[in-house]
Amino acid sequence: MVDRLYHFVGGARVEGRSGRFAPVFTPMTGEISAEVPLASAAELADAVANAKAAQPAWAATNPQKRARVLMKFLELLNRDFDKLALKLALEHGKTIPDAKGDIQRGLEVVEFAIGIPHLLKGEFTEGAGPGIDMYSMRQPLGVVAGITPFNFPAMIPMWKFAPAIACGNAFILKPSERDPSVPLLLAELMAEAGLPKGILNVVNGDKEVVDAILDHPDIKAVGFVGSTPIGEYIYSRGTANGKRVQAFGGAKNHALIMPDADMDQVVDALIGAGYGSAGERCMAISVAVPVGQKTADILVDRLASRVRTLKVGPSTDPTADFGPVVTRQHLDKIKAYVDIGIQEGAELVVDGRELTLQGYENGFYMGGVLFDRVTPEMRIYKEEIFGPVLCVARADDYEAALALPNDHEYGNGVAIFTRDGDTARDFAARVDVGMVGINVPIPVPLAYYTFGGWKRSSFGDLNQHGPDSVRFYTKTKTVTSRWPSGIRDGASFVIPTMG
């Protein structure tokens, strides 16, 4: 049976009115499980009106009480953890253990947001001048919005709405139309946790509602995560409309393997980071860079036997290494990249294109793909494939290897595997990428640090979660006050100084 999904506005489920819907698939079977309404600009305007009406009272609620709602939400998330993970796995395609990781990394930002009252404190200078005190305060922006991708349908919505709401804003979430059920359930859990109506709204849709968000004058800030071309568009249209925008985009994450690296550790790390979640992670390793021909030969040989034995299975198989990809369209795109790689002259070491699973013939599956002798001018090197495809780009020495991530247009994550502290330290200092792993393949910073790439992996100045999230979702006001009021020193026509 096909479920009809809804929006969540003003604390209640709301049916779509636009008459437009998109199918939501179960990637492991290829069936349509639901249809999601695609909101119009008028439906977005209703959500914004609800949010705008509710926000002043929420901003006036003391920060500790706001944090308590998130504390209750955390409790409910833990209560429903398994149910949410199953739903997420069925709609996205990732395995259930991986779906649990998706929820867990979001939950950790909720934990961080519970401590946000500490970061909302302003500064105070007593006696900045005669009878003058000076202080700063952080105030919420008002109504803010988040536009999120399909690949982390629990984590990224929580990265957005938890800090924003803790800071006293009202939030409009526009999740991916490919897996909208978990974001809707999260909003309902926030309501159950005691969040006032209108503070968290979910409006489903596609470009039409995204454009309405970017153009709505009452939305003060937009946080986006998704592909680079869309992120760049969101950033330019949103900022042209006077909004604060942060847009996180695509990636091509390199892992350098030095000749002295622990090869057992490297192979395990690359297999997990390259093929986990079918490569549909912005922090997946998609390019391995062995340094020296001997390192490369050993690495390719060892990777090949592991890639051939990867277990691809339905999302509900607890023994599967990874599941199907999100849609048939995406599967076709990944396979087309494999064709392109062959035409470009890369060496196809393992070909996973022909995989089918008995009993799941219509699911969106493919096996792991391994390419060797990939070079920087190839499209499979330059472009994000976002599938279970690992490219090996050989480098003669460390400097040539370092030049690869540094010259690439993306700069999200990067890793180096070595036993040498000097090399690791030099790499961390000189690599032109925002998040660096040293013998760590997926260096996603913890919730109390910030997450963000460099170059064309990110548009805007501030990162997500950690202290930057408070900076992004608040504005600073600085007050200069003079007491007692009896001081009189006449009109002054020069710029005031405390001198």
Options 225, 282, 283, 289, the catalytic residue: 282
Question: Residue 210 interacts with ligand NAD (CB under 6 A)?
Answer: yes
Q: Which residue number, 108 or 177, has a Cβ lying nearer to ligand NAD?
A: 177
Q: Does 249 bind ligand NAD (CB under 6 A)?
A: yes
**Computed from CA positions of residues 422, 426, 429, 434, in that sequence, does the dihedral angle turn out positive or negative?**
negative
Stretch that binds ligand NAD, among 107-115, 249-257, 440-448, 481-489 (CB under 6 A): 249-257
Q: For ligand NAD, how many residues bind (rule: CB under 6 A)? A: 26
Long-range contacts of 273-277 (CB under 8 A, 24+ apart): 273/415, 273/441, 273/442, 274/368, 274/388, 274/390, 275/307, 275/310, 275/321, 275/322, 275/368, 275/388, 275/390, 276/98, 276/321, 276/322, 277/94, 277/98, 277/151, 277/322
Using CB under 6 A as the binding rule, whether residue 469 contacts ligand NAD is answered as no
Our finding on whether 204 is near ligand NAD (CB under 6 A) is no
Between 213 and 291, name the residue whose CB sits nearer to ligand NAD.
213
Binder among 227, 236, 239, 362 for ligand NAD (CB under 6 A):
227
Is 282 marked active-site? yes
Q: From the CB of 408, what's the least distance to ligand NAD, in Å?
A: 14
Q: Is 459 in the site for ligand NAD (CB under 6 A)?
A: no
3 state SS of 448: coil
Q: Is 461 helix (H, G, I), strand (E, B) or coil?
A: coil
Kindly tell me which of 92 and 138 has the beta carbon lying closer to ligand NAD. Answer: 92
* Pairing status of strand 389-392 against strand 369-372: parallel
Taking CB atoms, the residue at the shortest distance from ligand NAD is 226
The reply on whether position 457 binds ligand NAD by CB under 6 A is yes
C-beta atoms surrounding 254 within 10 Å = 28
5 binds ligand NAD (CB under 6 A): no
If binding is defined by CB under 6 A, does position 250 make contact with ligand NAD? Answer: yes
Q: Work out how close the CB of 346 gets to ligand NAD at its nearest, in angstroms, rounded to a whole number.
A: 21
Q: In sequence order, what are the residues at sequence separation of 6 or more whose Cβ sits closer than 8 angstroms to the Cβ of residue 23?
A: 32, 34, 35, 36
Is the Cβ of residue 169 or residue 176 nearer to ligand NAD in the bound state?
176
226 binds ligand NAD (CB under 6 A): yes
Euclidean distance between CA atoms 140 and 441, whole angstroms: 36
Among 79, 121, 207, 477, binds ligand NAD (CB under 6 A): 207
412 is a contact residue toward ligand NAD (CB under 6 A): yes
Report the residue from 38, 167, 225, 255 that binds ligand NAD according to the rule CB under 6 A. 225
**Residue that has been written with the tokens 């939501």 in this structure:** 24
Q: Are 407 and 433 in contact (CB under 8 A)?
A: no
Judged by CB under 6 A, which stretch of 62-70, 224-232, 340-348, 487-495 contacts ligand NAD? 224-232
- The CA–CA distances, whole Å, from 235 to 225, 249, 491 equal 11, 11, 45
Bridge pairing between strands 244-248 and 219-225: parallel
Yes or no: say if 125 and 134 are a contact pair by the CB < 8 Å rule: yes
Touching ligand NAD, residues 149-168 (CB under 6 A): 149-152
174 binds ligand NAD (CB under 6 A): yes
Q: Binding ligand NAD by CB under 6 A: which of 5, 9, 34, 147?
A: 147
Helix 96-114 vs helix 81-92: angle between axes, to the nearest 10 degrees?
A: 120
**Total length of the chain:** 499
Q: Which of residues 367-406 bind ligand NAD (CB under 6 A)?
A: 384, 386
Alpha helix (H) ranges present in 93-174? Answer: 96-114, 116-119, 155-166
Least separation in angstroms between CB 450 and ligand NAD: 11
All residues at 6 or more sequence positions from 469 whose CB lies less than 8 Å from its CB, including other chains = 113, 159, 163, 164, 450, 462, 463
Show which residues are catalytic: 282
Interacting residues toward ligand NAD by CB under 6 A: 147-152, 174, 176-177, 206-207, 210, 225-227, 230, 248-251, 282, 384, 386, 412, 453, 457
